[in-house]
Structure 1
Amino acid sequence: MSSIMQVQQQLLGRMQQLAEVANGQPIRPASVPADGIGGSFEAALRSVDAEQHQASAAMAAVDSGKSDDLVGAMIDSQKASVSFSALLQVRNKLTTAFDDVMRMPL
């Protein structure tokens, strides 16, 4: 089979997949959990806290000589740092959105 026919077959297959998706169930918006935005933020906060504790325990184990997995401890530390930074950015965006809503004229 020539490469042009192969590409045409792939495109035809992709178009059929998209047609099936278009005829399927409509996409529904994400639902807000029963406990609301505050509960979601609290769950994220607890998750970041757990990562911080895990990284701290890994670093303590390396420092005390109980573990020689320095690379793993550093990766855990970086994961916790990135998670914390992302959480701060979300908090800042939520704070800015709240301030914007409060400044809206009635």
Structure 2
Amino acid sequence: MSGVGSTSSVHQIMALRQDVMSRNQALQDVRAATGSPASGAQSPGNATGPAGGFADALTGALQTVSGVQRRSGEMQAAYERGEVTDIAKVMLARQEAGVAFEATLQVRNKLLSAYQDIMRMGS
């Protein structure tokens, strides 16, 4: 029966990952609609391929989150210097970085929980 629980955890993680990817796509659509420059480091098509594996998908997702946070920091610094005058774009970038971080944190929590469940199986 414990095998069923771990399968359920994997499905929950994959569902959470899909949710993160759909939110990321929605944020990219909003960014494209507002005319903000898209980050060249993001390539969501590469992370979803079946040949990449879980580690590659996780690495790609973490790099995407890092890029979003870096972009947010750059926009905030540019606003503080007076180079960017549209506060809405700055706040959107900050919100996007916050959502990306929270989603990453939730994935980490689910992975940690799944790992602990697996470690308990031998007991």
Tell me the TM-score range normalised by the shorter chain: 0.5 to 0.7
Answer yes or no: is the 8 Å Cα contact 1:52–1:80 preserved in 2.
Answer: yes
Q: Cα–Cα, structure 1 residues 32 and 104, in superposed 2: closer, same or farther, change >3 Å?
A: farther
The 2-side partners of 1:96 and 1:36 are apart by: 20
**Secondary structure of 2:50's aligned partner:** coil
* Residue identity in the other structure for 2:81: S
Answer yes or no: is the 8 Å Cα contact 1:62–1:73 preserved in 2.
Answer: yes
Matched, 1:84 2:101: yes
Q: Partner of 1:39 in structure 2?
A: 56
TM-score by length of 1: 0.66
**Secondary structure of 2:77's aligned partner:** helix
Q: Partner of 2:114 in structure 1?
A: 97
The 2-side partners of 1:52 and 1:32 are apart by: 24
Answer yes or no: is the 8 Å Cα contact 1:48–1:80 preserved in 2.
Answer: yes
Match of 1:49 among 66, 90, 94: 66
* 1:10-42 Cα distance to aligned partner (Å, 9 max, x none): xxxxxxxxxxxxxxxxxxxxx973342111111
The 2-side partners of 1:51 and 1:64 are apart by: 20
Q: Cα–Cα, structure 1 residues 103 and 32, in superposed 2: closer, same or farther, change >3 Å?
A: farther
Larger radius of gyration: 1
The sequence identity of aligned pairs, in percent, is 38
Point out where structure 1 has 5 or more consecutive residues left out of the alignment.
1-30
* Residue identity in the other structure for 1:63: E
What's the Cα RMSD here? 1.8
Q: Which has the higher contact order (CA 8 A, sep 6+)?
A: 2
* 1:20-67 Cα distance to aligned partner (Å, 9 max, x none): xxxxxxxxxxx9733421111110000000000111111111100011
TM-superposed deviation, 1:99: 1.1
